Chain A
C-alpha cells in the first residue's frame, strides 16, 4: 500500500484515525439517537408500574409510588364486590389480592394473557426455525449449484415481498377457512414462514456466498459427503448470518399484528391482537396495557442478547489468506 502524503496544513491529522472532534460528534449523535428511541420504552415501563390514577394524571407524574397493580390486572380477571363482602374475606394471600381489594374487587381467575403469550412464543419461534432452516438450505443450493433459471427464481422469491402482505389478507382468510387453518398455531406458523423465507434466502445466500467453496471441497476430499461437509464446515461458518437472519425473522413474526388479528381470535390468538383488548376490561387500564407491552418486549430482548455474541463475533476469516 502506498502512503499518501498528508496535505499541507493537516500534518497532524491522520488519514485513518478519526479526529477527537469527529469522535465526539459521532458519540453525541449516537447517544441522542439512543435517547430518542429509548424514551417511549422507558415511558411504557414507568406506566406499567404506576397505579391507574397515576397513569392518567395530568401533568404526567415522574415521581410516584410504584405499584404492581398493572401486572396484577394483566394476569387476572376481577369482579366488583361490596365493601362488606370484601371485609368478610380472610386476609389477602398475596400482593395482588391486596391491591385488587383496595379497588373493591376480588380476583376471579387468570386472564388470557399467559396463553396468548405462549401462543406468540410458539408461533414466532416455530416460524423462525422453519424460515431459517428452509432459507439456509435454499440459499446453499442457490449459492453452490447450477440451478436452472436461478436468477429468475431468486427474483420470484424476492417478489413475494414486494407487496404489503396485508394485500393478500382476504384470499388467505378464505383459503385458511377452507383448509381449517384459521385460528390454529400451525396456520400462523406456516404464514409467517412463507413471508419470512424470502428474506431468509436472500440474506443467507449473501452470507454463504462469502464462504469459500474450497472449505467444502477440502472436506469432501477428506472423506465427507456434501451434506456432512455442509454440516461440519459451512454451518459453523454461517452462524453469524444465521443469527442475524433469525433475529430479523423473529422480530417480524413476533410483532405481526394485522394477520394475527384477522386470522386468530381464540385458541391460537397471539399477544399483539390481545394486548389492546385489555383496555376494554374495566375502564382504560393503561398500567395493564403497559405491563403487557413490557413483558412482550422481553423475549426479543433476551434472544438478541443471547445471539449478540454470534452477531458480533463476525467469524474471523483470518485463516483465509487473500
Chain B
C-alpha cells in the first residue's frame, strides 16, 4: 500500500477534454470515491492511473515512484471493471489465481493456493471455487471480481462502478462487505461511482468530478453540508436539492450577489396552513416518509414530510427557509463554509 499522487493530469480524446488538470493525493489506506455523472472523466482517471491510457500532461506517482511510461503490468495496481469482470473460459479458482500466475509474479503453486482460498473465504465464494465463472449469479461474479483484485495486495485498488449492475439489495450487501474488507486490509482504494449512497457510506473522502475537473474533494459530511457550487450540491441529497430564485420564500438572508438559493429538505420548514404561501401538489408515499411536491407560484419544490402529517394534494401549506445555501451568478457558493 502506498500514497498515490496525481498532479495536473490531463487527457483529451480528440477535441474532448476527458480529464482536465486533476490534482489528487490519495493517502495510504484511504478510501476515496470519485463521484460524477456519466462522461465526467471518472473512468478515464482510473484508466490513467492503471496505465491503460497515457496522460497528455501531468505526473503520477505511486508509492513515490514516477509512473510515466510504465506498462500496466509494472504499476502494481489492481482494477475491478464495471463489466466483463471474469474470464469466461476459466473457473472461479482459475480466475482468482490468474493474477498470481502471471509471469511478473512467479509464485509457487502452494502460495497461490493458500492466497486464493483465503481471499475466496473473505469474499464468501469459497463454496463455488470449481464452478465455471459463467455459472454464477451477478452478485457472485462481482464478489469474484473483487476477490481477483484482492489476491494481489497491490499499492492501490482501482474500482470502476463495480456494483452498478447489481440489484439494490445486493448492492447494499456488497457495499458493506467491501467497506469491511477495505478496513480489514487497510487497503488504499480509489472507487468510481455515480451512486451518491455508495459514495456517502464508503468513502473517507469524496471527490466530485464535473467535465473532467475535480471540483471539490472532502469528507462526505463536508461535501454534503458545504458544497462549493451548484454542481456539487446537486450530486448529493435525496430528494434532490431545490434550486429557487432569491426572495421566493421567507426566512432567507441572501448575501449580496445571490442568484440562486439552494434548499435541501433540512433547509425547508413546512406547516399545514390554509391560505399559506404554497400548495401541496402531489405526495409520494415511501412508507417511512413522504416526498411532498409543493408548488410556490410557478415554482415546484420537493421536500420530505412525516408520513403522519395530515396533508392532501390541493391543501394550503406554509413554507419557509432555514439557513439555505446561496449561490452566485457563476454557480459558486457565496456564504462562508459552515464546518470550519
Contacts and interface: CB of A to CB of B under 8 A. Distances in A.
Interface of A: 212, 214-215, 217-225, 228, 232-233, 236-237, 315-322
Nearest to B145: A218
B134 interface: yes
Contacts of B102: 219, 222-224, 228
Nearest to A322: B83
A321 B138 contact: yes
Smallest CB-CB A-B distances: 3 pairs: A223-B102, A223-B104, A318-B134
B167 to A, nearest CB: 12
Contacts of B81: 214, 217-218
Nearest to A318: B134
Interface stretch (B71-79, B222-230, B252-260, B274-282): B71-79
B273 interface: no
Nearest to B136: A319
A225 B83 contact: no
Contacts of B84: 212, 214-215, 218, 319-321
B83 A221 contact: no
A36 B50 CA distance: 59
A319 to B, nearest CB: 4
Contacts of B52: 217, 220-221
A121 B51 CA distance: 47
Contact of B88 (A219, A221, A232, A319): A319
A197 B105 CA distance: 37
Which among B79, B83, B88 has the greatest number of chain A C-beta atoms within 10 A?
B88
B79 A218 contact: yes
Interface string B225-262: 00000000000000000000000000000000000000
Contacts of A315: 88-89
Contact of B83 (A222, A236, A321): A321
B99 A320 contact: no
A319 B78 contact: no
B89 A214 contact: no
A221 B79 contact: yes
A225 B74 CA distance: 10
Contacts of A237: 88-89
Which among A214, A320, A321 has the greatest number of chain B C-beta atoms within 10 A?
A321
A235 to B, nearest CB: 10
B141 interface: yes
B86 A319 contact: yes
B165 interface: yes
B152 interface: yes
Nearest to B77: A221
Given A212-B84, A236-B89, A319-B86, A221 B78 contact: yes
Nearest to B158: A221
Given A212-B83, A321-B141, 20 more contacts: A214-B85, A217-B52, A218-B79, A218-B87, A218-B148, A219-B98, A221-B50, A222-B152, A223-B105, A228-B102, A236-B89, A237-B89, A316-B88, A319-B85, A319-B88, A319-B133, A319-B136, A320-B84, A321-B85, A322-B83
B87 A319 contact: yes
Contacts of A322: 83
B153 interface: no
A212 B87 CA distance: 11
B179 interface: no
A218 B133 CA distance: 15
Given A223-B73, A224-B102, A225-B73, A320 B152 contact: no
B13 to A, nearest CB: 12
A222 B99 contact: yes
Contact of A319 (B77, B99, B134, B152): B134
B64 interface: no
B69 interface: no
Contact of B141 (A222, A223, A319): A319
Given A212-B84, A318-B135, A221 B89 contact: no
B103 interface: yes
15 contacts: A212-B84, A217-B79, A220-B71, A221-B73, A222-B148, A223-B104, A224-B73, A228-B103, A237-B89, A316-B88, A317-B88, A318-B88, A319-B86, A321-B84, A322-B83
B136 to A, nearest CB: 8
B138 A223 contact: no
Interface string B106-135: 000000000000000000000000000111
B295 to A, nearest CB: 33
Nearest to A213: B84
B130 to A, nearest CB: 15
B147 to A, nearest CB: 13
A320 B89 CA distance: 12
A219 B134 CA distance: 18
Nearest to B80: A218
A137 B135 CA distance: 31
A233 B87 contact: yes
Interface in B45-93: 50-52, 71-73, 75, 77-79, 81, 83-89
